[in-house]
Structure 1
């Protein structure tokens, strides 16, 4: 049986090529996701852990020296290292940041942890040491001058030493800048003389959990995290990314199943005589079934092996592309048992499941019927299938529509709706071709009529081919609509909540120095400037979130509606949002605050996106207790010139200075980046859908060589034959695209329709691109089959027995 199956595969290797490639892509996607995820997890879990418990203040304030001394006395503490650390960005020689956002940090130099490989430890305020991987990447050597950004401020420093140290941040491509201990405490815990955290090691016989419990009991104002918990949190973030990648891999494999199934279905028709001869010489149905499944097994194994190797290569490229683990001794983990089982499980599983029904049909062919000139067409009615499809589609659609914004309902309803549409694709194909028959006959003449009739000839095959393309385009549309809607809302919000000509924001994970607004105010052409500082004002019960502003400029930069009082006295008082004031029973003249009460001078309303419960002058917020959100600027002249002057004055690579138009465009562009990333992951599924159309057109053309020869014999020219095949291919592709785009748009629209202040937006430009790509796929899919078909001499084609 294996020899027969192997000979059959080698004889039909060109027919098995595209389904094999589809399985290769799907398995490669799965393998690459798992290998990359395992490698990241191994890097995180394998990073050295030189502490057992991390301790911080619950209010995220600095930890005083007195608290550190109290920690030393807690039972079970074997060692303690107070730490002053915070976000620190290393600027390269080209003026760009070095490292990985979110993993770059600064810390006080600790000779026990940071083993110098060259130079000396930093001592002065303008001296630093670098981890060796950062120094290598940036090209810095001991004695070099360089720039770092700390607490939002860029300053020049001198590199005094390079040290060898490895933690999870460095392993993930981050940089570590070490300052003198006093400098680190001044920068990261200003005004307190303390530290940001403390790292504890457990005494012999004390576990991490026991030590954390002892600290929490003795000092309840402190927050404790064990080393294992922190590692688990970082690993879980990686697991989420891996799961997202696997979801897209699943979509690709689902599309592959239709391509495999269609291939075996058409092969069953083409090899009817072969199966009949086996039956005639004594082979039973089970033998034929097992033989076809053996072919599927051989196909699945070969494709899985190739896909596995391709996936490992892809993971290696990702590892290098994102500079993760650079310099760290963390190799790829390509052959873990779970990854091998998963890859072969999905590769073989999808292939065998997709081939099972065609194999059963092949085994059910009676010898006498199969010995006829061709495989008799199935007389099985589509009535039961259509009823099932209608019911499943209706249930899924109802869940999606009624779920409006309720994610669980949509997540359950969307797959049901797509499955129902897949079941209905033969009916959809028949209906759409009936609609297209008239226009195509009118504009394309005989070629249009022939193309329509060919697609109607086998609705099951047409539907299965269209389904593979439908799946990918449906998911594309389903993610496009929500992101386009949120992008439009974000751009609208950016226009309405302030009237600034220029805005300054920090890069992700970076800060804005509280003094930036003062520096900007000195730039010529700046009329008004205010930073938006976030802080908490303690109340008798709880706290009030306040926004620190420039009292003299805020009205010129944010459209505030004053309900009561005036902002004239905001410099010494507080203005409260009207809803917040009503909730607390405050009016103009009320005292707000616990330690240093401020008088309410006004109540106001503002755009919701402004996000301020109360306004105070920045001078009334104690230093070190505020966080700067952004800076708003009103220019007196050309906004572009003032923007350039501000950039020059600040000279800070973590600050993004933009005009109003640039800011609005950037808000929309950030979503385009996410969308393009999703398209990249979905491109595999769409490509497999396109391959399904190519496969169907290739194999169906081979089945119809005699028919094409007869058409040419009665006067149909080569160009007309090519046109018939191209139109037929485009019809199949358009059926899948329409079903996919319409269903995806419905799912996407319902996903955002229940969200507050967000209206579904249909991005017609992108949807038009989807349809244009579909037509291009249809035209391209017919190119090679048409070229081969018309090159066969007419008499040879007529004599060909392709069935």
Structure 2
């Protein structure tokens, strides 16, 4: 082991890049575990505040959880405490005018310990979490149910998330079904009463409209949610580690090649194959342990970043035992496993190799590997092509295709480099020819380097295609669903105030408004209908409605259904549907996105959007006037172009998150290219000296290395991007509601970025090779 430590220290420059790859892989795993554990602990802590929680059912308007029911629950045997809660979502307007979504609830002394100030009194006071950055007495603006309020901060409290605490009367008015109601009730068991016994007793007195769950069930649900987050993040970590295996294996392969004579000398003086194998694996273990330490530190920082991005920064346990042990196992295990095959090949070098000059050349045939790769690729393609009929086959086809291409890359590399040799020679002269021939010299090494980058590019392309298709579909729906000049919508988790439509109609330049809401109509018997809540008089001015049968009319206690819905459910004009009568059968544009029209929302919810017709040529000016009139940062006022872009924005934002998560894999792939080029500089020292001796300039040497790196990187793009596009397209095939849209500009950008990766990866090796002293290089025995 001491020798392994000395060997790693002596060759530390060669181990820097693979160590960075291990650091990134370990950091990803640690981030996933630490963040997931923090989310789980926070959710379990919240769930542990109650032994039983009573929640309102879906028909909360008809059956509110009122004070009378709370009193009945308090009298249930075994109940020691009752905490009635009214909660929902609200927004805190920051000093720059932006918004921060926060959980809003009523003040309860047992749940909210004040750090400063006092409990809120009346609708004009709030308690904020201490992370918000406000002090007692500050004036702030909050938005609740679409209404902007100017309130005073009466106190602050420690909280694990953004929190706005209201007085109980205000919270009940804002979030409950009635002023005398709540949204849930937490019950605390008396001493000697088990959780299960209390739950059974509560269910006996609870009406059917309400649900009751135990604290254990709430904690289990919270743990399941946290585990899902952890599993998703660990999936991306697995991708990064898989790519890191190529980097590590390639590094040890090239090191073993460079040390071939040294290993052969050891064999000649009596060392066994097992001793050489153990020597290489010990070196890998030392590298893994050394890289794990900074990997763990970076992982803690990544977990904190995830907390700030996806939640409100739950408290992290930086020194938890499980992440430490997992990090050590991952860093050590991945490095040793990836180095095993190169170590075996190093141990197999015969003692006679000590008498040879130069480096050994891998003479193994590619036939067996190519046949296996072709079979796997064909099986993967067959499964992917069958995906529209059996969607689950993509989970089989995608891995088979990728594994097959990984095995086929040496064969593909030889063919593709043969195709580009002549065009590159015409473009860059003998430097390009030399670069292509060097890339072809050791096809297995070239393939291993390209595969490290190819996997990341393929997954990026596979994620891009379906999300780009969804974004294009959202843009089409936004463009064809209506003809409004402006559309008013709330931000996510916000709502429009009930008087928003009337206020907009009074803005100068507004000719007509039409509110549109979303309703889920319960038809009984487990049947439901997705309906738009509309004004049947003004809607046809914005949406091309074609009446096929009946009369649209006022839709008083009636609905209008689409032709497709009427045919599928066998309805006709006059059919009685629950409490409604089918008054008309209509055709709606596909982008409108509803199966029926109704005049009023049974739950009394405000509209989800408002369509606006502006005076001709005044859309932009009217938009600005509406924004000024509403003065609400949670309300978006968009022109047609802006709304089309906003409709696709969630998919693009999600794609950006995926790119960030996949960035580690692509970066490790780039490090693999840089590692190969750096170590090949050492291998080809004598070759570089000979080229310089016959007149090749330093600039030409640098260019040759850059072209070689670009060729390897583009090989990854040529193999990986089409595979990713095929996998991503298969996820869209057969989806009736989404048309395939391949983002060619994005894929072209991937190719350009891949070429840039090749240039950047070769920068240091090319400079180093060009600076080698000619005479010293000629005396080298590396060739």
For Structure 1 versus Structure 2, the TM-score category normalised by the shorter chain is over 0.9
CA distance in 2, matches of 1:13, 1:562: 77
Deviations 1:322-347 (A, max 9, x none): 67347xxx4x3123332122212221
Deviation at 1:423, TM superposition (A): 1.1
CA distance in 2, matches of 1:517, 1:237: 38
Given candidates 503, 507, 514, the residue that maps to 2:498 is 514
Aligned to 1:503: 487
Aligned to 2:697: 717
Task: Tell which deviates more after alignment, 284-293 or 543-552.
Answer: 543-552
Matched, 1:567 2:556: no
Aligned to 1:311: 299
Q: Is the 8 A contact 1:537 1:593 kept in 2?
A: no
**Aligned pairs, how many?**
777
**What secondary structure does 1:530 align onto?**
strand
Aligned to 1:674: 654
CA distance in 1, matches of 2:266, 2:522: 87
Distance 1:230 1:643, change over 3 A: farther
Q: Is the 8 A contact 2:377 2:400 kept in 1?
A: yes
**What secondary structure does 1:559 align onto?**
coil
Matched, 1:155 2:149: yes
Q: How does 1:179-258 map to 2 (within 5 A)?
A: 179=167, 181-191=168-178, 193-219=180-206, 220-258=208-246
Deviation at 1:112, TM superposition (A): 4.8
CA distance in 2, matches of 1:118, 1:636: 52
CA distance in 2, matches of 1:297, 1:584: 66
**What secondary structure does 1:403 align onto?**
coil
Distance 1:776 1:335, change over 3 A: same
Matched, 1:658 2:655: no
CA distance in 1, matches of 2:121, 2:76: 32
For normalisation by structure 1, the TM-score amounts to 0.91
Distance 1:548 1:322, change over 3 A: closer
Deviation at 1:636, TM superposition (A): 2.0
For normalisation by structure 2, the TM-score amounts to 0.93
CA distance in 1, matches of 2:352, 2:3: 22
Matched, 1:95 2:97: yes
Deviation at 1:271, TM superposition (A): 1.0
Deviation at 1:104, TM superposition (A): 1.9
Q: Is the 8 A contact 2:140 2:152 kept in 1?
A: yes
Matched, 1:139 2:123: no
Distance 1:235 1:505, change over 3 A: farther
**What secondary structure does 1:548 align onto?**
strand
Question: Which sections of structure 2, spanning at least 5 residues, go unmatched?
Answer: none
Task: Tell which deviates more after alignment, 46-55 or 336-345.
Answer: 46-55
Q: How does 1:266-415 map to 2 (within 5 A)?
A: 266-319=254-307, 324-325=312-313, 330=315, 332-404=316-388, 406-415=390-399
Deviation at 1:572, TM superposition (A): 7.4
Given candidates 758, 763, 767, the residue that maps to 2:743 is 763
**What secondary structure does 1:104 align onto?**
strand
Distance 1:291 1:57, change over 3 A: same
Aligned to 1:46: 45
Aligned to 2:685: 705
CA distance in 1, matches of 2:360, 2:178: 89
Given candidates 409, 418, 423, the residue that maps to 1:425 is 409
Deviation at 1:140, TM superposition (A): 4.2
Matched, 1:438 2:422: yes
Aligned to 1:9: 8
Aligned to 1:59: 58
Matched, 1:473 2:461: no
**What secondary structure does 1:288 align onto?**
helix
Deviation at 1:736, TM superposition (A): 1.1
Task: Tell which deviates more after alignment, 526-535 or 292-301.
Answer: 526-535
CA distance in 2, matches of 1:312, 1:188: 38
Aligned to 2:78: 76
CA distance in 2, matches of 1:139, 1:427: 64
Matched, 1:524 2:508: yes
Aligned to 1:453: 437
Deviations 1:691-748 (A, max 9, x none): 1111111211211111122222223333332222222211111111111111111111
Deviation at 1:573, TM superposition (A): 5.1
Deviations 1:651-702 (A, max 9, x none): 2222111111101011222222111111112111111111111111121121
Q: Is the 8 A contact 1:20 1:303 kept in 2?
A: yes
Q: Is the 8 A contact 1:503 1:659 kept in 2?
A: yes
Question: Which sections of structure 1, spanning at least 5 residues, go unmatched?
Answer: none
Deviations 1:291-324 (A, max 9, x none): 1111111111111122122222333444466673
CA distance in 1, matches of 2:166, 2:729: 50
Deviations 1:149-175 (A, max 9, x none): 22222233344x3254x6xxx41x221
CA distance in 2, matches of 1:588, 1:738: 58
Q: Is the 8 A contact 2:702 2:766 kept in 1?
A: yes
Aligned to 1:127: 124
Aligned to 2:614: 635
Q: How does 1:578-589 map to 2 (within 5 A)?
A: 578-581=563-566, 587-588=572-573
Distance 1:147 1:449, change over 3 A: closer
Task: Tell which deviates more after alignment, 571-580 or 711-720.
Answer: 571-580
**What secondary structure does 2:544 align onto?**
coil
Aligned to 1:33: 32
Q: Is the 8 A contact 1:35 1:339 kept in 2?
A: yes
CA distance in 2, matches of 1:723, 1:584: 69
**What secondary structure does 1:87 align onto?**
strand
Given candidates 552, 555, 559, the residue that maps to 2:540 is 555
Aligned to 1:605: 587
Deviation at 1:199, TM superposition (A): 1.8
Given candidates 108, 111, 117, the residue that maps to 1:110 is 108
Deviation at 1:571, TM superposition (A): 6.0
CA distance in 1, matches of 2:332, 2:520: 58
Deviations 1:212-242 (A, max 9, x none): 2333343233111223333333343333222
Given candidates 654, 670, 676, the residue that maps to 1:690 is 670
Deviation at 1:566, TM superposition (A): 3.0
Aligned to 2:780: 800
Deviations 1:171-203 (A, max 9, x none): 1x2212212x33333332354632222222223
CA distance in 1, matches of 2:298, 2:768: 31
**What secondary structure does 2:735 align onto?**
coil
Q: Is the 8 A contact 1:535 1:625 kept in 2?
A: no
**What secondary structure does 1:198 align onto?**
strand
Distance 1:582 1:678, change over 3 A: closer
Q: Is the 8 A contact 1:248 1:681 kept in 2?
A: yes
Q: Is the 8 A contact 1:208 1:226 kept in 2?
A: yes
Deviations 1:573-632 (A, max 9, x none): 5433334445666544566553xxx665432121344243433334xx56x533532221
CA distance in 2, matches of 1:581, 1:759: 25
Task: Tell which deviates more after alignment, 333-342 or 414-423.
Answer: 333-342
Coordinate RMSD, CA, aligned: 2.6
**What secondary structure does 1:653 align onto?**
coil
Distance 1:193 1:798, change over 3 A: same
**What secondary structure does 1:626 align onto?**
coil
Deviations 1:437-480 (A, max 9, x none): 22223333322322222111111111111111111111111111
Deviation at 1:373, TM superposition (A): 0.6
**What secondary structure does 2:489 align onto?**
strand
Q: Is the 8 A contact 1:551 1:571 kept in 2?
A: no
Deviation at 1:17, TM superposition (A): 1.7
Deviation at 1:391, TM superposition (A): 1.0
CA distance in 2, matches of 1:629, 1:342: 47
